[in-house]
Amino acid sequence: MTDFFTRKKNELQIKLNEVQQNAVMQTDGPLLLLACPGSGKTTTMIMRIGYLIEEKHVNPKRIKAITFSRASARDMTERFKRFFPQHPPVDFSTIHSLAFTITRTYLRKTGDAFELIEGGGKGKQAITKSMLLKRFYKETLRDDCTEDELASLSTFVSNVKNRMIPFNEWEKVPAPFDKAGSIALKYEQFKSKTKGHLLLDFDDMLSIAEQALRVDEQLAEQYRTRYDYILTDESQDTSLVQHRIVEHLVAHHGNLCVVADDDQSIYTWRGADPAYLLNFKHVYPDAKLLRMEQNYRSSKEIVETAAKFITRNKERYSKEMRTDNEKTGPIIMKQFEDPKRLLEYVTYELLDEQNLDEVAVLFRNNASSTIYVNELHRRGIPFYMKDVDDKFFSHWVVEDILNFMRLSFNVERKDILAKIIMKMNLFISRDMLSQFMNKTTSGNVFEAFVRTVQLKGSQIEKLDNCIEIYNKIPDMRPAQIIRMIRYELEYEEALKSRAAKFGYRIDHLLGILDTLEGIASQVRTMVDFANRLKELEQAVHQAKINPPANALTLSTFHSAKGLEFRRVFMIDLVKGIIPSEEDETDPMLLEEARRLFYVGMTRAKERLELLSYREANGKSKEDSRFLNEVRGILMKPEARKTEKVKKADLSTLPDPNGISDRNELSVGMHILHRVFGRGVINGIRDEEIRIQFGEAEKRLSLETILSRRLLKKVEL
DSSP 98-141: HHHHHHHHHHHHHT-EEEE-SS--SS--SS-HHHHHHHHHHHHH
Q: Which fold has domain 647-713?
A: Thrombin, subunit H (2.40.10)
CATH fold group of domain 2-98+207-292: Rossmann fold (3.40.50)
| pLDDT at res. 643 | 35
The topology under which CATH files domain 332-382+548-640 is: Rossmann fold (3.40.50)
Phi first, then psi: give them for residue 380, nearest 5 degrees: 75, 25
User: Looking at the chain, which residues constitute the CATH 3.40.50.300 domain(s)?
Assistant: 2-98+207-292, 332-382+548-640
- pLDDT score recorded for residue 506: 80
* Apex 639 CA angle, 636 and 643, nearest 5: 135
Query: What pairing do the DSSP bridges indicate for beta strands 565-570 and 615-616?
Result: unpaired
Q: Is 699 helix (H, G, I), strand (E, B) or coil?
A: strand
Which positions of the chain have pLDDT values less than 50?
1, 638-652
Instruction: Give the whole-angstrom CA distance, residue 445 versus residue 463.
Output: 10
Q: Alpha helix (H) ranges present in 380-429?
A: 396-409, 414-420
> What is the structure's pLDDT at 645?
36
Distance CA 270, CA 223 (A): 27
Domain at 394-530: CATH code: 1.10.486
Report pLDDT for 641.
40
Q: How many CB atoms lie within 10 A of CB 117?
A: 22
Q: What is the model's pLDDT at position 676?
A: 65
Q: Which residues pair with 363 in a beta bridge?
A: 556
CATH 1.10.486 domain range(s) in the chain:
394-530
Distance CA 365, CA 515 (A): 14
Query: What distance lies between CA 51 and its chain's CA centroid?
Result: 38
User: Buried (b) or exposed (e) across 607-630, using 16+ Cβ within 10 A?
Assistant: bbbbbbbbbbeeeebebbbbbebb
pLDDT of residue 154: 92
Helix (H) or strand (E) holding 289: strand 288-292
CB of 624 within 8 A of CB of 632? no
Q: Rounded to two decimals, what is the model's pTM?
A: 0.80
Residue spans in the chain of domains classed CATH 2.40.10: 647-713
The CA–CA distances, whole Å, from 328 to 295, 568, 599 equal: 15, 13, 19
Q: What is the pLDDT of residue 124?
A: 58
Instruction: In the chain, count H helices and then E strands.
Output: 31, 21
Angle made by CA atoms 124, 269, 98, in degrees to the nearest 5: 55
Plot region of 455 (φ>0 → left; ψ -120 to 50 → alpha; else → beta): beta
Could you give the CA distance from residue 360 to residue 350 in angstroms, rounded to a whole number? 10
Residue 548, preceding peptide bond in cis (omega within 30° of 0): no
Q: Please, is 633 exposed, middle or buried when counting C-beta atoms within 10 Å of its C-beta (0-12, 13-18, 19+)?
A: middle
